[in-house]
Amino acid sequence: MAGYLARRAGSMILVLLGVSVLVFLIMQLVPGDPVRTMLGPTATAESIAAVRADLGLDQPLVQQYVSYLGGLLQGDLNTSLTMAQPVAEIVFPKLGNTIILAAGALVICLVIGVPLGVLAATRQYSLFDRGAMFLSLAGASVPVYWAALVVISIFALKLGWLPTSGMYDVREPGGLGDLLRHLVLPAATAAVVPTAVIARLTRSVMVEALQQDHIRMLRANGVPERQIVWKHALRNALPPIVNIVGLQVGYLLGGVIFIEVVFSWPGLGGQLYTSITSNDMPIIQAGVLFIALVFVVVNLIADIVVALLDPRTREAVG
């Protein structure tokens, strides 16, 4: 187990190094000169050259990358081109807000997606199964930005149950209740696609798990069906479910861009969108980098959970 962990962590570091190279290179590919954009059309050649030297942009590419990586490791993410503020100060609070949104969505996915898949598997080919699976396929095809507009128009505008946008009330901000009220619609919308994907996968692995010999054995021994399904079969079906949940976190972290833009949620996705429109490369770099970092770490955790669920690897630990 320890060896496995070390190997996984090692490959994760390699992947993250690759990610940093790619993100660094993306900035080099951007058409137009960021310094010229930053200083505006009236800038003189001297002032542009001075700022370039100041930012180290006149150095060779490899050297620029090394100093970029060095800064990264010390938490220095450069300065925003449009907000004259260190990128770290902008990105970290927003990353926190995005994680709140994604976590809320993930809870909904797990609470609905897994039981739906299990129930469909136990009633294979029934009306419930067919209905649930068609709904899941439809759910997986939903354009999330459209779903966001639809839920706003129904639950916020027509029924007036929940706020249309933001994270806290503008007039009386604060409190967990306020946050939860603002979280419901965006989190539920973000959860639609991953819930559908998780339900479909859960069904297919559960169908397989329920056909295994030891399950038939348990049935023959008179173990209650509920216990067979939720304890024994689900346990065997868990590893692929955990893996797909890890991958769906990636979908959530990407998809929240749409959610945050439509619901004006003050997260990293919305910030990325603003920075893309204003061409603020240091923020785009940092935002993309941190979303990738969270995604890679979540998948590492998922792999570890899968390893722990498997008795063969688990025994190797203790």
Partner 1 sequence: MTSTTLGQKVVSPVAAGDTVAAQIKSRSRPALMWRALRRDKAAVVSIGILVFLTLVAVFAPLLAPYDPLDGDASQRLEGIGTPGHLLGLDGQGRDILSRLIYGGRYSLTVAVLPVLAAAPIALLIGMFAGYFGGRTGNAVMRVLDVLFAFPVVLLAIAIAAVLGPGLANVMLAIGITMVPYMARVVYTATVQESAKEYVEAARAAGATQAQILRQQLMPNVMSPLVVYGTSLCGLMIVLAAGLSFLGVGVTPPAPDWGVMTSDGRSVLLEGYGHVATIPGLVILVAALAFNLIGDGIRDALDPHKQTS
151 to 210, contacts with partner 1 by CB under 8 A?
152-153, 157, 164
**Min. distance of Cβ 220 from partner 1 in angstroms?**
25
Which of 6, 9, 13, 26 contacts partner 1 by CB under 8 A? 26
Give the interface size with partner 1 as a residue count (CB under 8 A). Answer: 48
Establish if 301 lies at the interface with partner 1 (CB under 8 A): no
Q: Min. distance of Cβ 284 from partner 1 in angstroms?
A: 7
Contact between 10 and partner 1 per CB under 8 A: no
Q: Which of residues 110-149 bind partner 1 (CB under 8 A)?
A: 134, 137-138, 140-147, 149
Q: Which of 83, 110, 162, 276 binds partner 1 (CB under 8 A)?
A: 276
Q: Does 284 bind partner 1 (CB under 8 A)?
A: yes
Distance of closest approach, residue 149 Cβ to partner 1, in angstroms? 5
Q: How far is the CB of 56 from partner 1 (least distance, A)?
A: 21
With contact defined as beta carbons under 8 Å apart, do 184 and 161 qualify?
no
Q: Which of 106, 167, 207, 291 binds partner 1 (CB under 8 A)?
A: 291
In angstroms, give the least distance from the CB of 214 to partner 1.
Answer: 22
Q: Which residues bind partner 1 (CB under 8 A)?
A: 11, 14-16, 18-19, 21-22, 26, 29-31, 134, 137-138, 140-147, 149-150, 152-153, 157, 164, 250-251, 253-255, 257-258, 261-262, 272-273, 276-277, 284, 288, 291-292, 295-296
